Amino acid sequence: MQGTVLVIGSGVAGLTYALKVAEFARVILITKKEDTESNTNYAQGGIAAVMAPEDALEFHVRDTLVAGAGLCHRDAVEQMVREGPSLVRQLIEWGARFSLDAGAETPRLSLGREGGHSHHRIVHAQDLTGREVERTLITAVQNHPNIEVHEHHAALELITAERDGVREVLGVTALDRRNDRVQAVFADATLLATGGAGHVYLYTTNPSIATGDGVAIAHRAGARIANMEFIQFHPTTLYHPEARSFLISEAVRGDGGILKLRDGTPFMDAYHPMASLAPRDVVARAIDSELQRTGDDYVHLDVTHLSPEFTKSRFPNIYARCLELGIDITRDPIPVVPAAHYSCGGVLTDLEGRASLGRLYAVGEAACTGVHGANRLASNSLLEALVFADHAAADTRELLRQRRAPPESADDRTLEANDEVRRSREVSPPFVAQLRLLVQTLMWAHVGIVRSDRRLQQAQREVEILREAVESLFAASRVTVELMELRNITQVAWLIIECALRRKESRGLNFNSDHPERDDTHWVKDTIIE
């Protein structure tokens, strides 16, 4: 073994990296809840990869660049598209069971098509792809002798030290939720794979773990953060009081679902030549604008014209969940609204997944690799995580080979976190929940699908006040996961607003009604916060 590597997060990014690093190092993996609780586990649609003979790498690259609205880093996109298919095959070798083409003489992957893709290239496991990926990876991780998994451990702060003018990461402080103890975990390299930040917003498709912890932690430690203004709102979340974050996959539109007003009129033709198959940002804005125009609370996604057998076998999970709620999607249109879904920005990395601090990597939704630009193409995120985890693992091998010991002493500032357990004052949980709701409501109302300078400025003023209040609470109280999540949500909200205020144009997912045009003269660049 060449050293110890710390992995924070047990979604596709953290697990893939852990498996690869475990070939040459000891891996400590910490994760905030149970090991399967991640955005990955909820991914329905699939993994985009060029697997069909009629498809080609250049088509996938082109589709990704078009969706990214001029801001994707071409080298990152090419790396992902080129290396993706073999990593999907590796997942299959590790045991992933993806859907096969029923009609084919020899077993062949069934490839779906989703919004923004010019070809059929979505590898899927019915509509439960993420669960299958997570199951495969967790099984392999649990069977690996070099990987220790610590569930219910929430990372709080990076431990850093400076050497020769370079800040390096030595590990993290983490809260063990079962005994409320904060401990320091040291490692030769650290990966942030903490996923997305959907819970910065009131409505989201993300599970509760998605509070932007990795981005907030990295920012506090001085890492560069990029493109946080580009939040993808999934256009079609089920509108139902008992299922606020149940997603109706993009694949439903890909396989023929049509968006209609409540009176049955299709409306997407007026917004984009691809109609219901238009990219997500176009669809989300179109729905937002139709809802404002009509005053309705939702629109319909209609699959009643498809054969019921096809609908039930292609979307068994969506069919069953809707049926539980009294909606038979083979007969009734599905009521849908947009919700915060994916963060294109994050901890800025290079092509090897290296962040701007020494010994720190970021992969998956917590990272900004340059792949997504101003808008993520559907099903590119699982693929991105596979490819960049692979690169980060190879780079970690090189880092450990150099056998350069980490700097000896950690900054006192970061280790102070150990004192937090001793603080006796506990903030009341309902108060924390109330503050969280305040931030989420503010972000939904002022920093949502359509933004304006005035609303962003107002949101920034309010978030700054909240941020100060939360920091004081955090400094003076016993640390709980809820309090640390509130702190991170508030910080990520600030980062989103700051990035959105800096970008004086509309591009991809960032639509500002005061700057409604795309400005290629000044804004073909990332928004980077030091």
- Main-chain dihedrals φ then ψ at residue 255, nearest 5 degrees: -100, 20
**Exactly one of 280, 285, 321, 436 is catalytic; which is it?**
280
Closest CB 290 distance from ligand FAD, rounded Å: 23
Residues contacting ligand FAD: total by CB under 6 A: 44
Residues numbered 134-173 forming contacts with ligand FAD, rule: CB under 6 A: 154-155
Assess contact for 192 and 218: CB atoms under 8 A. Answer: yes
CA torsion 307-313-319-323 (nearest 10°) is 80
Q: Is residue 314 near ligand FAD by the rule CB under 6 A? A: no
Of residues 37 and 505, the one with the C-beta less far from ligand FAD: 37
Q: What distance, in Å, lies between the first and last C-alpha atoms of the chain?
A: 35
Q: Is residue 14 near ligand FAD by the rule CB under 6 A? A: yes
Long-range Cβ pairs for the range 310-314 (8 Å, 24+): 310/255, 313/126, 314/126, 314/127, 314/251, 314/255
Q: Is residue 8 near ligand FAD by the rule CB under 6 A? A: yes
Of residues 129 and 356, the one with the C-beta less far from ligand FAD: 129
Q: Is residue 42 near ligand FAD by the rule CB under 6 A? A: yes
Q: Is residue 21 near ligand FAD by the rule CB under 6 A? A: no
Nearest to 24, CA basis, from 146, 144, 139, 161: 146
Q: Is residue 335 near ligand FAD by the rule CB under 6 A? A: no
Of residues 122 and 459, the one with the C-beta less far from ligand FAD: 122
Query: What is the helix, strand, coil percentage profile of the chain, to 5?
Result: 40, 20, 40
Region near ligand FAD per CB under 6 A, out of 43-51, 95-103, 253-261, 284-292: 43-51
Residues numbered 186-245 forming contacts with ligand FAD, rule: CB under 6 A: 193-196, 205-206, 209-210, 213
Closest CB 174 distance from ligand FAD, rounded Å: 7
Query: Does the annotation count 280 as an active-site position?
Result: yes
Q: Is residue 427 near ligand FAD by the rule CB under 6 A? A: no
What string of DSSP letters covers 244-285?
A: TT-B--HHHHHTT-EEE-TTS-B-GGGT-TTGGGS-HHHHHH
The span from the CA of 265 to the CA of 257, in Å, is 13
Of residues 231 and 459, the one with the C-beta less far from ligand FAD: 231
Closest CB 198 distance from ligand FAD, rounded Å: 7
For the chain, what is the radius of gyration of the CA atoms?
Answer: 22
What string of DSSP letters covers 445-476?
A: HHSSSEE-HHHHHHHHHHHHHHHHHHHHHHHH
Q: Is residue 345 near ligand FAD by the rule CB under 6 A? A: no
Of residues 138 and 278, the one with the C-beta less far from ligand FAD: 138
Of residues 190 and 512, the one with the C-beta less far from ligand FAD: 190
The span from the CA of 98 to the CA of 124, in Å, is 6
The span from the CA of 172 to the CA of 457, in Å, is 34
Instruction: Give me the active site residues, please.
Output: 280
**Residues lying near ligand FAD in the complex (CB under 6 A):** 8-14, 30-33, 37-40, 42-47, 129-130, 154-155, 193-196, 205-206, 209-210, 213, 247, 342, 364-366, 379-382, 385
